[in-house]
């Protein structure tokens, strides 16, 4: 079983409990400026997780579809979406089960680089191209690999309710890997892996262009600062599919 088929389950909801809807709203406000879409525009949130950004986009008046592979995270999204504002769909980001195109596609919170082979990661970008209308906009919010390597915290430990969460991080084989151990009294430890292949700006831009995606701006933070490899925490591409 691939790591991403195991790691995005019920324990993930607890490990990332600190990710809140308010933070998503702050990020979406800036994304709206970058996307420059009309009200009612159709937006696809590719790898939507528990749907924080999908629901925020819907609140701002867009017709949103959220796609994710994890049934657990999609079920959580459905529960949180009590106004039934978003269309939720289970699917693999390399082969999304949709035959329609969107005004915009967003891929957020480092939901790229999950696969060992470059070709598989490139398939995701080609899917984004396929799913966009001509002239459609995209945002890909990736980690800054330089910042990650300079600021990596090898080990950390915290508690959430009755859980002890231990995390170990390392750069290995061109990937940043996080190994998570969750301990709970009376049960065996639960082990998870999270992994992202590290692509620097030059490599990522080459893959985007190969997929037919034109880059308009590269940001390093959601406050709109230009990307700086030494100080930016994010690597955010904003662009479009040329018509």
Under-70 pLDDT residues of the chain: 18-20
CATH number of domain containing 65: 3.40.50.150
Same domain, 153 and 130: no
Same domain, 52 and 110: yes
What DSSP letter does each residue of 208-241 carry, written as one string?
HHHTTEEEEEEESSTT-PBP-TTT-SEEEEEEEE
> What does pTM read for this prediction?
0.96
Count: domains in the chain: 2
The answer for residues whose C-beta is within 8 angstroms of residue 42's C-beta and 6 or more apart is 62, 63, 64, 65, 102, 103, 104
Q: Kindly report the number of other CB atoms within 10 A of residue 25's CB atom.
A: 16
Same domain, 70 and 140: yes
> Residue holding tokens 């999950």?
114
Same domain, 172 and 74: no
Same domain, 106 and 120: yes
Same domain, 187 and 225: no
Distance CA 113, CA 7 (A): 15
CATH number of domain containing 152: 2.20.25
Two tokens, residue 38: 């009309």
pLDDT for 18: 65
- Give the torsion through C-alpha atoms of 14, 18, 20, 26, to 10 deg: -150
Domain of residue 177, residue span: 148-195
Same domain, 226 and 108: yes
Same domain, 20 and 68: yes
Same domain, 26 and 63: yes
pLDDT for 15: 86
Same domain, 97 and 156: no
Among 157, 180, 195, the domain-final residue is: 195
């Amino acid at each position: 079983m691939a790591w991403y088929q195991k790691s995005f389950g019920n324990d993930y909801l607890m490990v990332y409990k600190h990710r809140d809807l308010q933070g998503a709203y702050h990020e979406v406000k800036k994304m709206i400026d970058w996307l420059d879409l009309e009200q009612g525009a159709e937006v696809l949130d590719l790898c939507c997780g528990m749907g924080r950004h999908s629901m925020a986009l819907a609140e701002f008046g867009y017709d949103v579809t959220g796609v994710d592979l994890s049934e657990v995270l999609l079920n959580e999204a459905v529960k949180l979406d009590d106004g039934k504002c978003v269309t939720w769909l289970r699917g693999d980001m390399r082969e999304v089960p949709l035959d329609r195109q969107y005004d915009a596609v967003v891929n957020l919170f480092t939901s790229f680089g999950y696969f060992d082979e470059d070709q598989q990661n490139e398939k995701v970008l080609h899917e984004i191209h396929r799913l966009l209308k001509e002239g459609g906009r995209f945002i890909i919010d990736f980690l800054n690999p330089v910042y990650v390597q300079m600021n990596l915290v090898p080990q950390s430990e915290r508690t959430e309710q009755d859980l002890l969460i231990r995390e170990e991080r390392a750069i290995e084989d061109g990937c940043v890997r996080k190994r998570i151990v969750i301990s709970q009294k009376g049960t065996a430890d639960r082990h998870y892996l999270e992994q992202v292949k590290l692509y620097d700006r030059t490599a990522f831009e080459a893959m985007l262009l190969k997929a037919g995606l034109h880059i308009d701006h590269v940001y390093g933070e959601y406050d709109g600062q230009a990307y700086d490899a030494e100080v930016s925490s994010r690597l955010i591409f904003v662009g479009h599919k040329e018509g």
